[in-house]
Amino acid sequence: MPADQEIYQLIPHRPPFLWVDRITAFRQDAIVTEKLIPADLEICSGHYPGHPILPGVLLCEAVFQTGALLMAKMQNAGSLTMENAVPVLARISNARFKRSVFPGDRISMEVRLTEVLSSACFFSGKLRVNDKLALQVDFSCTLQPTVTG
């Protein structure tokens, strides 16, 4: 399933490293997204052969990209002010993996804003598979100016 056009307008991530297909809910301090993990996802053929599991770092990335989408929507609403900037991961803490995600699964990511300090946003994120918690993680992102050349 290709990503909604809105996602391409909000964040710089692109396939094959885009881990969000669509935004399913949004409010000023929270966002929910989802992604269908392709049944034939190549990375899973080597992680692990005969028992494919989506790597935990990619689960975290899906949550982080969801946070980037929330930041972009906050920028559009005027809550964050820095033009020509991209969200960059600054901190990861308290990551807890509860269950595996497999090719063919649909994942849902929920990110809540917990604090804003200058251009840094602090978030709490959850990822679910089959409505069951698979990952919890706290993280922060900052806005950094884009490099033009």
CB-based burial label for 103 (10 Å; 0-12, 13-18, 19+): middle
CB-based burial label for 5 (10 Å; 0-12, 13-18, 19+): exposed
Q: How far apart are CA 19 and CA 126, in angstroms?
A: 14
Query: 71: which 2 tokens?
Result: 């930041």
Active-site pick, 27, 47, 91, 96: 47
Residue 47 annotated as catalytic: yes
Residue in the block written with tokens 């969200």: 87
Which residues participate in catalysis according to the annotation?
47
